[in-house]
Structures are given as C-alpha cells and as structure tokens.
A and B are shown apart, each in its own frame.
Chain A
Amino acid sequence: MTTVRLLVGTTKGLFVYSSDEQRRVWRCEGPQLAEWEIYSALGDPKGEGVLAGASHAAYGPSVRKSDDGGATWTQIADGPRYPTETGFKFNRVWQLIPGHSSEPDTVFAGVEEAGLFVSRDRGATWSELDGLTSHPTRPGWFPGAGGMCLHTILIDPQDPRRMWVGISAAGVFRSEDGGETWTPRNVGLARVPTGQPYPDVGYCVHKMVLDPQDSNTLYMQEHGGVLRSTDGADSWEPIEDGLPSGRFSHNPDYSGPFGFPMAMSHNGDLFIAPLESSEQRTMAEGKLLIHRMERGADAWAPIGDASPEDPRYVGVLRDALAVDGLEQYGAYFGTTSGELYCSLDRGVTWDRLPGQLSRILAVKPWVVGANGAA
C-alpha cells in the first residue's frame, strides 16, 4: 500500500499530512517540534524515518530525527557544526536531501552560513564538505535578505559525483567530484551590486531545479528573473515569456519576474509562483496564481488560481512549492499565512488542505511504498 505524506515545516513546528495514493482525504498531525522553526525535512521512502532541520532565534539550530513517522524525536548529537577556528556560524538547516540512488545511506544538508554537510549513515553523524567555505571567492560572498543560505542541492541522476548548489547571494556552483570542490556557474545572471571584487560570485539565485530526464538542463528563479541552462549551468538565459514583470523600481538591471519557489515534476512540468516585486513580496496582483511551463516549451502559462474568489496578498517561500513522485503526480504549495494547497491535475485546480498553520517554510512530499517515488 502506498502512503503519501507531506512534511510541512512552519515557524512553529512540523506538521505531517497523510493520505493514500488517491490524495483526496488528508489527515493532519502535529505540530511536532512545536517550539522550533522547521526550514527543512526529509522522509525516508523505505520506512518511517524523518530528518528535520530545527532552529530557534535564541537556541540555534540542530538536526532532529524521528524513527516513527514524526511522532517522537531525538536530537542528533553529532550534527552539522563548523569548527571553531573557521569562524563560520551554523544558523539554520535550509535543505536536507537524499544522496544519489546508488548511495542510499547518504544525506546532504545545506546550511546557513552557507556550507554543505554530508552524512553517510542516514543522518546519525555529519561532516562538512569544506570546498565552499574554503572557496577562494568566499571573502566576496554576501547574504541575501534571508541570510547567507545554501538553499538548493541538486545531484545528477546519471552521475553521483556531479552536483550543483544554489547560495543566496553568492550564486550557483557545480562540483564534478561529489562536493569536494566547486566552480561558480553564473554566466548570464544579473549580478548583485555588492561592490566585492570577485566577478564570479554575487548572484542571487532563489531556487533551482534539475530536469530529471536531462542532466544538462536546469531552471532557476533568480532575484532578477527566471532562467534556463541547457549546458549544465555553464551559461544561463532568461525564459520569461508569459510571466508578469517583477517591476524592480530600484534597479533597472532587474526587470524579470520576481519570486522564490520552483518545482519540476518527473514528466517535465515546471511550476513557479510569481510575486509582485522585490519590494512587495506578495503574490502578483493579489492572485494565488501558479504558473506552469511544460518541457520543451518556451513560454509560461498562468495555469491555476488557487483562490479565484478572494485576493491573497501572501507569499510562497522558496521551499514551499513541491511535487510528489507518483506517476499521476500531486503538486503542493504552502503560503506565508499558513494555508496549504494540493493539485492533482497538473496545477489547474487546487484544493485547500485542512488546517490553518503558521508561516509555511517548507513543503516536502514523502511517498512510502511506491516504486521510484519521492
């Protein structure tokens, strides 16, 4: 039997939504880790294990682990932590993703201040892959408004040693050696005017996805627009037809559509949630309108309004839009005002799931019992 769950991280704990393969009726349990903000979560597709990145303004971050689907939790004692001598601060866990399918015990964590950690034992112990914190351009890295976070980790399904990360506001980096060393890959992006002397960095990537069927094609929602690469991130070009302008009044170099999240289904449907502008970070024109572009297309379409009757001046954060891995996939997003939506028809119609939560930071589908699903 297939169980579909959504791990929903909020500023006030983790909620676990559960359904069967039909995904018509959902049960919400939580909050777990109620006092903590949950920026990242990852469920084990083979069982009941869950990892969560929990943090708190006063008490700092940690990785927590549950072996019973989120009912009870323990704190990982040997979690991510920068050595004292590096001077780096570990502030949040922005991303938890599984390693390549050939490495089932591996988990990667992207953290703030920006760095990459790896666990080879399903989250029990962690060590840093320090090619990013020791990168020669590191003195020129500056944080975005959300902090200097490593928020995106992608692994080539064809090659476990080929990886990409996205860091605000340093940019995109690619590794060919499993995360040991990294090269900036930001040609074609609009550079943030920080004044720092490293031209290869200083790019405000918000979210990035990899086409699961073409490891040289990536898409990005960046501060100044939406872009595509067809050469493994060696270069980027705008792909914005059909999207609303971001109306950047402060910088004419930024004229593209503004937003944060981006998600891609197994069949190549790409989703984003455009916001009004950098200054007004709410949905464009107050519409909870998700845009979709199909694989091979060159234009976006405003495919589904989740709340056509009411204006919704809310946002969708960078990890709060996701698709599951089932053949007839489900798409999901959560808002900054705590509403959670589900679509089972490729984003055309959206049903609101039960519950009014706190600010939704992350929506992570977790499918147990289905072949190849995530």
Chain B
Amino acid sequence: MLKSCTGGRTRFELAATTLDEGLARLVAEHPTLGVHLYDESGALRRHVLIYYNDENIAWLDRLDLPVQPGDRLTVLQAVSGG
C-alpha cells in the first residue's frame, strides 16, 4: 500500500556506501514514503519494520555500517493484534 509513494515500484535500487546513508536516500528520493515510515520526531513508526538483509534495524547497535552491492532494505508492517 506504500507503492504510490515510490512511483508504483515495490523493488528498486539505491546507491549508498553505508546503511544510514541508504535509509536517508530512501526517504530523500521518496519523501512521501518518509511520512509513512517515520513520525514527527524522526522515530520509526511503532508498527513499521525496516530490515537490513535479515536484520531488523531496530536491533542494530549502529547504522553507519558499510553496505555491499546486493544488500537489501525491506519495509514491513509489523504484525500485531489479532
């Protein structure tokens, strides 16, 4: 339901050297997507998950990790409730 923020695409490439640069580019290139991922304080919305490859970025100690070609960022809606 967020693909209207990304020109209808659900998969696309980003150029970045670090994870935090990749996250910044994701919302800089798709500003309306940023509204739905982050709240006014800049925090990730409570029921939004972003995975860096197989890692939930919420559990990473730091985001200035170097990234490699082929690494993936995946946006998911957290499953909660019934």
A contact residues vs B (CB 8 Å cutoff) = 35-36, 56-60, 62, 73-75, 77, 79, 81-84, 86-90
Contact = CB atoms under 8 A, between A and B. Distances in A.
B47 A79 contact: no
Contact of A75 (B4, B37, B39, B47): B4
Interface of B: 1-2, 4-5, 31-32, 35-37, 39-42, 45-48, 77-78
A35 B40 contact: no
A88 B4 CA distance: 26
B4 A73 contact: yes
A37 to B, nearest CB: 12
Contact of A88 (B31, B40, B46): B40
A13 B78 CA distance: 21
A75 B41 contact: no
Contact of B39 (A35, A36, A62, A89): A89
Nearest to B35: A62
Contacts of A84: 40-42
B36 A35 contact: no
B33 to A, nearest CB: 9
Contacts of B2: 59
A84 to B, nearest CB: 5
Nearest to B79: A58
A320 B75 CA distance: 34
Contacts of A60: 35-36, 39, 45
Contacts of B77: 58-59
A89 B37 CA distance: 14
A81 B40 contact: yes
13 contacts: A56-B1, A58-B45, A58-B46, A58-B78, A59-B2, A59-B45, A62-B36, A75-B35, A79-B35, A82-B40, A84-B42, A88-B40, A89-B40
A73 B4 CA distance: 9
A77 B35 CA distance: 9
Contacts of A81: 35, 40
Given A58-B77, A58-B78, A59-B45, A75 B5 contact: yes
Contacts of A83: 40
A64 B1 CA distance: 14
Contact of B40 (A36, A62, A79, A90): A90
A218 to B, nearest CB: 33
B30 to A, nearest CB: 10
Contacts of A73: 4
A84 B40 CA distance: 5
Contacts of B35: 60, 62, 75, 79, 81
A86 B35 CA distance: 17
Nearest to B46: A58
A36 B1 contact: yes
B66 to A, nearest CB: 29
Contacts of B47: 57-58
Given A58-B48, A59-B1, 20 more contacts: A36-B1, A56-B36, A58-B77, A58-B78, A59-B2, A59-B45, A59-B48, A59-B77, A60-B35, A62-B35, A62-B36, A77-B31, A79-B35, A81-B35, A83-B40, A84-B40, A84-B41, A84-B42, A89-B39, A89-B40
Contacts of A57: 47
Contact of B36 (A59, A77, A86, A88): A59
A82 B42 CA distance: 12
Contacts of B48: 58-59
Contacts of B41: 84, 87
B77 to A, nearest CB: 5
A77 B21 CA distance: 22
Contacts of A89: 39-40
Which of A60, A74, A86, A87 counts the most B-chain CB atoms under 10 A from its CB? A60
Nearest to B31: A77
A73 B77 CA distance: 22
Nearest to B47: A58
Which of B40, B41, B45 counts the most A-chain CB atoms under 10 A from its CB? B40
B78 A77 contact: no
Contacts of B37: 59
B55 to A, nearest CB: 20
